């Protein structure tokens, strides 16, 4: 599996098809969808219809990151729309276990998301039941933010707990990732990397993807 998960939040939507074509030709497996509801975060982004629309022309898998307040209400819609992986925020409240069960019952991969100001310990009880943990290295809601360096410590702490518990949970990181920090993230224990602005601002997608992968492989 390619460890780079491009986020299409940063794209110019008039240019989306050409970008997706480049991703497909460069062996990208997953597209990351930043789903925002205007309540949990201020911004609004994609609805469930985005997935079948893209899938009608491309063979990507979809990683839906639900930045939404009422996860229970919407999670089935993203399952039915074709999401392969679904993550939601541990900060949304006390229905975490119920929502994990819903995703697992439909044979999809489930993840929990941790904001920068939330202790990573909050997800420790759920590690045996989750497939991945998404650590936010920026505050959710907007693209183009600067990477928060304290994320490296959270990755290390989470990795230690995963190893200690015998879990097979993967660590995904999202926010401000580029070639200057992705190697450190890999060394700290991260497995998967959501890349948005850095990738979409690149003149040559293929060259940028190659540089990112070299940093990961060299870590």
Q: Are 137 and 145 in contact (CB under 8 A)?
A: no
Task: Return the sign of the alpha-carbon dihedral for residues 164, 168, 173, 178.
Answer: positive
CA dist 171 and 159 (Å) reads: 8
Catalytic residues: 34, 174
The DSSP H or E segment spanning 121 is: none
Q: Are 64 and 54 in contact (CB under 8 A)?
A: no
CA dist 205 and 99 (Å) reads: 36
Residue in 55, 58, 109, 57 with CA at minimum distance from that of residue 79: 109
Q: Are 113 and 65 in contact (CB under 8 A)?
A: yes
């Amino acid at each position: 599996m390619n460890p780079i998960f491009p986020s299409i939040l940063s794209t110019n939507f008039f240019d989306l098809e050409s970008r997706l074509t480049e991703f497909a030709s460069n062996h990208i497996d997953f597209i990351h969808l930043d789903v925002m509801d205007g309540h949990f975060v201020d911004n609004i982004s994609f609805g469930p219809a985005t997935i079948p629309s893209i899938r009608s022309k491309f063979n990507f898998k979809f990683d839906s990151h639900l930045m939404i307040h009422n996860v229970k209400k919407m999670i089935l819609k993203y399952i039915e729309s074709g999401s392969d992986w679904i993550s939601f925020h541990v900060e949304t409240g006390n229905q975490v276990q119920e929502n994990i069960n819903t995703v697992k019952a439909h044979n999809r991969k489930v993840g929990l998301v941790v904001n920068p100001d939330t202790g990573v310990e909050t997800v420790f009880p759920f590690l045996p039941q989750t497939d991945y943990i998404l650590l936010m290295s920026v505050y959710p809601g907007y693209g183009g933010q600067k990477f928060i360096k304290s994320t490296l410590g959270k990755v290390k702490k989470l990795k230690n707990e995963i190893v200690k518990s015998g879990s097979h949970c993967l660590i995904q990181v999202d926010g401000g990732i580029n070639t200057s920090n992705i190697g450190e993230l890999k060394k700290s224990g991260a497995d998967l990397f959501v890349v948005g602005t850095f990738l979409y601002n690149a003149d040559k997608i293929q060259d940028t993807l190659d540089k990112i992968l070299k940093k990961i492989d060299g870590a």
